[in-house]
Each structure stands twice: as C-alpha cells, then as structure tokens.
Amino acid sequence: MGSSLRSFIKDVRGAKTLADERAIITKQSAKIRTKLRDDHLPHEKRRVNIQKLLYLYILGEKTHFGQVESINLIASDDFVDKRLGYLAATLLLDESEDLLTLLTNMLNNDLHHPNKYAVSLALTSLGFLSSPELARDLYPDVENIIKNSKDPFLLKKALQCAAKLISKDISLLEIFNIEDITKILSNHSICTHGVLLGITKILQSVLLIGLDPENGDDDDGIDYANDVLSPLSLLLRDFFTRLENLNSKNIEPGYDVQGICDPFLQCEMIYTLKLYFQVGELLNSNHVLDYKDNFCDLLTRIATNTDSTKNSGQAILYETVKAIFSLNLNQPLRVLGVSILAKFLVGKDNNTKYVSLNTLLKVVPQEPTAVQRHRKFISHCLQDNDISIRMRALELSFAILDNSNLVDLIDELMKFLAKQDEDSKDLIIYTIDHLIDTFDTHTVKDENWKLDVFLNVLKLVGPFINYEKINDILIIINNTAQLSDKCNFLRKLLIISLDEKSMGISDENIGWRLVLIWCIGEYCDLLLNDNNESNAKIINESSITNYLLTLQECYTTTNHKIINYILTTALKLSIKLQGPKNIEKLRQVILGYADSTDLLLQMKSNQYEILFNQPVSVKRIVLETMPKFEKVAEKQENVKKTSKNPVSNEPADLLSDFLNDDNKTEAIAATDNNVGPTDLLEEIFGEKKDTKRPLKNGKEESIDQPLPASADSNVILPSNAAKIHDSASLNVYATLLSANSGLAHIELFFQAKSIISDLQTFCAVPKAQKLTLGQLHPSSTIRANQICKQSLKISGSGKLKLRVKLDFHLDGSPSTTNEQFDHKFDTTL
Amino acid sequence: MTQLKYLILVSRQGKIRLKKWYTAMSAGEKAKIVKNLTPTILARKPKMCNIIEYSDHKVVYKRYASLFFIVGVTPDVDNELLTLEVIHRFVETMDTYFGNVCELDIIFNFNKVYDILNEMVMCDGSIAESNKKEVLHHVTVMDTMESNDNLERVLS
C-alpha cells in the first residue's frame, strides 16, 4: 500500500469486494491516527494524512480523531498548511463543536493577516463555523474590514461573513451600521456583483430578524422599525435602479447566463426587496410602504421584459412571481403572475412545469379565477409522462374545481384515469378520494351523470379502490334521489358484466364486483319490474341468479369479503325474485357456508338461513331498502355514538328486538349515520361491528375532505371551536380536527360582524411545515353573523403555529381592510 | 434566491464523491439523507423533472455524465430553477479549471473541488460569486501561493 493520497484512493477504488474495501479503510484509518499523534511528523506528511482524513470524511468514515490536528494546521505560517487546515476545519467541525473556542485566536490573527488570502480563508471559515460566542467575539474584526477595505474580494467575503454572524447573534444589530453599506454602494469601483451579493445577504439577515415574530418585542433595546428599518429603507431607490439596469442591459460577458445578465444577483435582489416589503407591512412602516408602487412597477417591467424561453430567464420570472404572491400585490400583477406560470406549463421543460404547478396550487386561494382560466394547460399536464408532474396537475385540478367547471374537469380526470396503471396507484387513490369528496361538497343536478362517473371510475380503476372508499361510493349511490337513476346505473353495470363476461371486467376488479353485488341486492326488483325493459334477454331473474352463483364460485376461496356481500344479496333477493327455482338456488348459496371455516361466514350463513325461512311479510321489514344516509352530523357526534350504540354490546338481543319491534330498529338505522349501507345489515345482526368501527373512525380522523356542506350553504360553528381572533369586523374560530403522523387538519371559521366581501386569507406556518390552503366555503362574501369556513392541511414537524392575514372589504367599502394575528396550538406535529 | 442545505456528488454506482453541508445537522440525519436519497435519485428516469420532495425539504438534482449533483434546498425560499443554474455554474467552473472535467478529476482532486465550491457558494449556501472568471482567478492565485511556499522551503 502506497503512502500518498493518490495511492490510497486507488487502493479503495481497486478493492474487489466490500470486505476488502473495509479492510483497506480500517487499516489506513488506524495508520492516520498513529501518524497524526506523532508530534515530530514533518508538515508535508501531516498534510498528506489530513488529506487522507478528508477522503475518509467523504466516504462517510469517522474522522473525529483528526479535528485538533486540522486546527493546528491553521496556525502554520505556510499558506499551503493554512489552506488545508481551514478546509479540514470547515468540513470536519460544525457549529456545535466545543473545539471552536480553540479557533478564536487563530481566526482573530488571520483576520489581521497581511496576506489577503489568509484573511479570506479566515472569513470563509468563520462563516461556516460561527457559534454565537465566536460571532460576538469576532464581529468587530469583520466589521473593520467592511469599513476599511477597498478590495472587492475581501469586502465580498467580509459581507458574507457578517451576514452569517448577525443571524447567529441578533444583538449585533445594535453595532451594525447601515452607513458602511451605503458607503460601499456609493463607490462604483468596488461595487462588483460579488460585493452586491454580499450586501443582499447582509440585508436579508437584518430583515429576517425583523420578520421573526419572536424578535418582535424590543427587549434588547432595539426599536426595529425606527433604528433599523427606516435607515435601511434609504437603500431602496438604489436597489430599484440597480435591479432595473441589470434586467435591461447585458453588457458584461462574465455574468451572462444564456443571454441573461447575472440571474443570481437579480433573484437575490428581488428576494431582498420582497423581504423589505414584508417587514414594512408587518411593522406598518411608511418608510418602506411608500415605495410599494415603485416596486410594483419594477416587477411589472421585469415580468414583461425578461426572456422566458431560457431557464435563466424563467428563474427570474419565477422569483418575480413568488414576490408578487407572497406580498399579495395588486390584482393586475397577480393575474400577470398567473399567466407567467401558465406559460411555463406550455414548454417542454419538466422543471418549469413542476415549479409552475406547485406555485399555482399555492396561489389558487388568492386568484382562483385567473388560475381556472388556464385549465386546459393544467389538464394537459395530467397526461405528462412524469409522474410527479401528473401528481401536481391532479392536486391543482381539484384545487380549482368548482360548480362552473365540474363537468369538464371530471371529464379530464376520467381521461387521466384511463391511462394510469399499477405504477401510479397513489395517483388513482388520490383521485378517487377527492372525487368522492367533490361529490360530497358540490351539489350535482344531473345525478345520472354522477353515477356514470362512478361507473366509469369502477370500470377503469376498480381494482385499486379500497373497501373503505367503496363504502363511500355505495353511500353516494344509495343517496341518489331518483330511483330511476339507480336503476339505470344497475342496468349499465349488469349489461357490461353479463354481456361481455369474457372481456368486460376482470376478476381482479373487486371494486366493480362489490358495487354490482350490492346494487343487485338493493335495486334489482326495480329493474326487473320495469315494463319497458328492453334488455330482458340479458337481464332477467335467471341470468342474475346465475351470475351471482358464478361469482360465488369464483371467489369462494379467494375473497371472503365478496362472499359476505353475496350472502346478503342472496338473502335480499329472496323477496325480490319470483321464480321458486332461483330462490332455491339462492338458499343453497347461503346454506353452502353453514359449516364454513370462516367463522364470520358460518355465523352469517346460519343466521341468514333462519331469516330466509321467515314469512315474506317479516322479511320485507328486515330487508327493506336502505334509508338515505346523512353524513352531516357524523363528526361531532361520532364519539358519543360509538360508546352509546347498543348494537355492539348486545348482538343476541338485537335480533329478537329487530323481529319484534321494527320501530326501534328503524330508529337505529336512521341515526346511525356513519356506517356504510352494506355494513348496516351486518351491524343489525351484531357482527363485524368491532372490526368495522375503528376503520371508519380512522377514516374520519384522517379525512382531508372539507366538512360536507350542511344544508347547502349554512356553515355551522362546531361546539369545540376555539376563538382565536376577535376584532371589530369579525371573529375567527379554529378547530383542530386531527393531528398525527406529521399531518394536521385544521378548520378556520370566519364569523362576520357586518358584511364582509372578497375575503382573502393568507396563512403562514413555520419553515419546517408545509401548508395547503383550501378554498373559502361557501363563499368569500359573508353576511353579518354568517360563517364561512376554510380548511387547512399542515404537514411537517414542529409546533403548530399559524400566522393569519386577512384582506377584505367591509360593508361594501371599496378600500381593503387588513387584519393579522398569530395563533399557537397546543399541539406539536 | 438560493440557499442550499447541502451538496452531494454521487456516481452512477451510488458512490459518494463529494459532500458539503450548509446547515447544521446531526451525523445521523446526514447519514440518513445520503442513504435515502441516493437510490431514489439513481432510479429516476432521464426525462423526469429534476426536483423531488424529501422529508421536510426539496431536492434538486442534475446528472452530468456519470455524476449526479444532488442539492437540498429550502422549500418556498429557494428558487429551484436558479438552483439548477448554480449547479451548472459549478460544473462549468470545474470544467474550465480541470479542462474538460471528468469524474476521476473530482475523485482525485476533491480538495480542489472544495476550494472552487467555497469560492462559489458561501457559508449559508447562497451563491457568493456569479462571475466564473473571478472564482477561477482567486483559486489559481491561491494555488500559486501554495507552490511558492513549497519552492521557498526547497530553496531555504
């Protein structure tokens, strides 16, 4: 084994097996450790060993034993040692290390080093390794360079370093002097792009301190608005001019990126300016806000003049759009922003599509109609080859969905579903979940069409739908008002199933089968009694009975869930069919499971058999068509009901209860809202209760659907909602519906005290969390004492905190009223 | 704007060629990121977009020849399109420095790559210098100073 770094790397690369590689690394690691301990090791050897140590670092090996040695290298007079020493220190140490105190002196010395590169190394490393203590101790030295140096290279480094130090220890704001920056900006010869980047960084650090609510109280004796922000605002004009020049001219080839002049600096400047106005609005500082119109004009010019065909130009446009929406600038700008994003969707580049869809999703609550206008492009992205683009397009499609585009969008979604396969299972499940929610929250006049949608869904992606969602679909079918619509639905199901048995629906399509079996049990008498039945050749008592028998044979060993459904349907058919032969066949089906090894099936079979032999008049009562299911009250009363419900406790009594007193059972059936229709019968007999219930509960807690519209448009304030904001114009309440496994679901209720129109809400969450904001329901206009609701989904980690900003027009007045408040929940994600 | 959380260079075989962290994280977190991201990104198809979501942040990556450049960015703050430009700038700069850079150059001269990176990207992960020539100028001056040191030592 050679002794140079090169041969070490070669040896590691040449290792034939993982074990060989491990052996080489362990051996070399031990060798480095011994060598570094030797105080008389010549510098050159020492360097080689530190370099090897860095290679170990890249490989992910332990390197702690070399930390002190790297620091010692910095003290050397030789530049080559110093450079390597600093490199090693920045890689091997981090901000939390105790060893950093060892560095203080060396850094201090090097910050005054006659060689500017030694100074620059010290500045860079101080930036990387700045603990609050180091920041306090060394800031004056860094400031000294900012004040006195005329070398752009050093200035740039010092500014970057100072930016980091200020963010580490905010009390440094007291010393920070904005005039140093003004002086640099006024000296054209030293104001290179690098220096400007450094200045944007220092301004960002200072502004971010103003933006952090925890620094809001001036307990440090700093009056941020007056002492910091207002002198800072003197730079605004200068920034506007510089940014404008950068954007319109491109004369320096060194900064050119695909024909755009320094997109890096342009983006940093836009971002910095955005921070200015964010802080300005927070503190209501006119020093800053007076320039808002200028900023809007500038952004408009950038948005119109920047070349949008290249990635570098798109980066600037994207930054502009982000600024527009995070400041919620005027409506023409917002519309311009949306159309820029829409243009991104047309191109071939998937990255621009990605950022566009992502951003559009965030701005839907601010500019819903403008986003809806670009529905075609969004739908187009549903057909993209890239699954992450499809996912984003899907989310956005549901976000812009409303009554006006419901039919068109769902058509697009059907086209989308038709093309999905196993790989995009997540997308399919997402679509189905949201489709069900959509039909819960939106009233559709043409229910026939609605059922056709589900027919299509079942046909296309039935195998991917889980049982829980099938229950939801059955509820929707059951709640359809017109019997004829249900009849039509069943007819279509049957025609497809019976007619093209060979090619129509595969045996894996459990979703389709379950729905079909359930519908046969519920509606087949309606279908058979229909005199105009033109498909009598295909659909008749025998064909249905035989089909049920075929299914039973098909799934008898593979899927007991389906068999359960078949048994119930067979029982129900016993009062719906006329032919004694068919009825006997059905009885045989039920009897067939009397000694099944599946306990559940066995019980069901035996109980059903007893019921089967009851007189028709008795059976009719028991087997009556399912009542309509209300989902409204389910949330609030859910808990109470689970504990109170007698069904789960006294299964045996219930059967007799049921048979004796049908009024009582009716009552149970009617109040027991949150159980799927098929389960209801099972429940009445007291089976499966325990397994079913937690499943449904689980679903309700994790739901991401808005609360189903109760009585169309009147939102009712739930009793557990806590008041989080109270002002002259409105009250805001919040309920935390769920918070687990990194996902919280919150609902905000806005109760108007007088007429509020065009309500816009902006919410912010801590950095580690992601927020998805739902639309306002029922509308953004609230009459006095009415309530409007918005759902929020927060994913991520950390404490649940919200900052909410509200823009609205009060009593029809043309001017916008702003309100802002923070709320902390007691929950941590 | 750009504010990288980390930069990792990974070969097509999944070997780490370089890594640099710009935010303080525990060793465990770092190891987890490297371990989880590498297979995910290697499995991505060429036409897919270069941005993925990982844990609480986003990851922008780009493949150049046999190397994947993987960058963690801050959601909502970072401009993903600009991040791609930063990666490209970095590659271009290395290309000029090494003269048609290849994976082997990076493997054997990783300390030079760090030198270039530290001139380009500052301590908080934002871009420090947008002029490629400026970056290369200072790196080469420091290189010369190093060899002068050696020369002086030989002479003395």
Burial class (CB in 10 A: 0-12, 13-18, 19+), B47: exposed
Kindly determine whether residue A388 and residue B52, on different chains, have CB atoms separated by under 8 Å.
yes
State residue A503's pLDDT score: 58
Dist CA B4 CA B58 (whole Å)? 10
- The first and second tokens of residue A273, run together, are 């300016």
CATH number at residue B56: 3.30.450.60
- The first and second tokens of residue A235, run together, are 């730079």
* Shortest distance, CA B19 to any CA of chain A (angstroms): 6
Question: B5 CB near a chain A CB, below 8 Å?
Answer: no
- Contact indicator for A557, A507 with CB cutoff of 8 Å: no
* Shortest distance, CA A27 to any CA of chain B (angstroms): 20
In a domain, B155, yes or no: no
- Contact indicator for A607, A655 with CB cutoff of 8 Å: yes
Kindly determine whether residue A262 and residue B74, on different chains, have CB atoms separated by under 8 Å.
no
* Shortest distance, CA B117 to any CA of chain A (angstroms): 11
Residue with tokens 């990387």: A128
Kindly determine whether residue B131 and residue A257, on different chains, have CB atoms separated by under 8 Å.
no
- Contact indicator for A300, A336 with CB cutoff of 8 Å: yes
State residue B156's pLDDT score: 66
Mutate: best of B111, B116, B139, B156, partner A, most A CBs <10 A: B111
Mutate: best of A307, A351, A389, partner B, most B CBs <10 A: A351
Q: Which residues contact A236 (CB under 8 A, 6 or more apart)?
A: A273, A276, A288, A291, A294
- The first and second tokens of residue A107, run together, are 């850094």
* Shortest distance, CA B149 to any CA of chain A (angstroms): 6
Kindly determine whether residue A318 and residue B20, on different chains, have CB atoms separated by under 8 Å.
no
State residue B39's pLDDT score: 94
In a domain, B42, yes or no: yes
Q: Which of B52, B109, B50, B117 is nearest to B89 (CA)?
A: B117
Residue with tokens 């930016």: A163
In a domain, B24, yes or no: yes
Report chain A's C-alpha Rg in angstroms.
Answer: 35
Of residues B100 and A765, the one with the higher pLDDT is B100
Q: Which runs of consecutive H residues, i.e. helices, occur in A284-310?
A: 286-289, 292-305
* Shortest distance, CA B62 to any CA of chain A (angstroms): 11
In a domain, B154, yes or no: no
ipTM of the shown complex: 0.95
What are chain A's domains? 1-92 (no CATH), 634-702 (no CATH), 722-828 (2.60.40.1230)
113-152 in chain B: CB under 8 A from chain A: 114-115, 118, 122-124, 126-134, 138, 141-142, 145-146, 148-150
Domain that holds residue B132: 4-149
Q: Which residues of A touch B20 (CB under 8 A)?
A: 91
Size of interface A-B (CB pairs under 8 A): 175
3-class SS of residue A821: strand
Mutate: best of B130, B133, B141, B149, partner A, most A CBs <10 A: B130
Query: % helix / strand / coil in chain A, to the nearest 5?
Result: 65, 10, 25
Mutate: best of A56, A354, A357, A390, partner B, most B CBs <10 A: A354
- What residue type is assigned to position B79 of the chain? N
Q: Which residues of B touch A254 (CB under 8 A)?
A: 131-134
Which chain A residue has the Cα nearest residue B50?
Answer: A351
Which chain A residue has the Cα nearest residue B105?
Answer: A6
For the segment A522-541, what is each residue's pLDDT rounded down to a tens digit? Answer: 888 777 777 566 666 777 78
Q: How far is CA A273 from CA A39, A152, A182, A276, B18, in A?
A: 54, 23, 16, 5, 34
State residue A631's pLDDT score: 55
Strands (E), A274-396: none
Angle at A527 between CA A525 and CA A533, to 5 degrees: 135
Q: How far is CA A550 from CA A503, A517, A523, A565, B14, in A?
A: 16, 12, 20, 14, 52
Which chain B residue has the Cα nearest residue A275?
Answer: B77
3-state secondary structure labels for all residues of A420-437: CCHHHHHHHHHHHHHHHH
Dist CA A402 CA A409 (whole Å)? 9
In sign, the C-alpha dihedral spanning B20, B23, B24, B29 is negative
The single-letter DSSP state of residue A762 is E
Kindly determine whether residue B123 and residue A354, on different chains, have CB atoms separated by under 8 Å.
no
Dist CA A60 CA A70 (whole Å)? 18
Q: Which of B70, B79, B92, B62 is nearest to B126 (CA)?
A: B79
State residue A654's pLDDT score: 38
Number of independent structural domains in chain B: 1
Asked if pLDDT for residue B9 goes beyond 50, the answer is yes
Q: Which of A342, A371, A367 is nearest to A355 (CA)?
A: A342
Q: Using CB atoms, which residue from B77, B134, B149 is nearest to A79?
A: B149
Q: Is A711 left (phi over 0), alpha (psi -120 to 50) or beta?
A: left
State residue A311's pLDDT score: 92
- The first and second tokens of residue A17, run together, are 């097996």
What value does the mean pLDDT of chain B take? 92
Q: Which of A37, A133, A48 is nearest to A88 (CA)?
A: A48
Q: How far is CA A258 from CA A128, A314, B60, B67, B89, in A?
A: 32, 11, 20, 23, 12
Q: Which residues of B touch A42 (CB under 8 A)?
A: none
Kindly determine whether residue A94 and residue B128, on different chains, have CB atoms separated by under 8 Å.
no
Strands A816-828 and A756-764: unpaired
In a domain, B102, yes or no: yes
Stretches where chain A sits below pLDDT 70 are: 1-2, 95-96, 215-221, 500-504, 531-536, 630-714
State residue A711's pLDDT score: 38
Mutate: best of B30, B33, B49, partner A, most A CBs <10 A: B49
Q: Which of A498, A452, A509 is nearest to A476 (CA)?
A: A452
Q: Which residues contact A374 (CB under 8 A, 6 or more apart)?
A: A338, A339, A342, A345, A360
For the segment B103-138, what is each residue's pLDDT rounded down to a tens digit? Answer: 999 999 999 999 999 999 999 999 999 999 999 999
State residue A181's pLDDT score: 93
Which chain B residue has the Cα nearest residue A125?
Answer: B123
In a domain, B56, yes or no: yes
Kindly determine whether residue A9 and residue B108, on different chains, have CB atoms separated by under 8 Å.
yes
In a domain, B49, yes or no: yes
In a domain, B75, yes or no: yes
Report chain B's C-alpha Rg in angstroms.
Answer: 17
Q: Is A798 left (phi over 0), alpha (psi -120 to 50) or beta?
A: left
Residue with tokens 């009024």: A663
* Shortest distance, CA B67 to any CA of chain A (angstroms): 15
- The first and second tokens of residue A349, run together, are 């580049």
Kindly determine whether residue A130 and residue B48, on different chains, have CB atoms separated by under 8 Å.
no
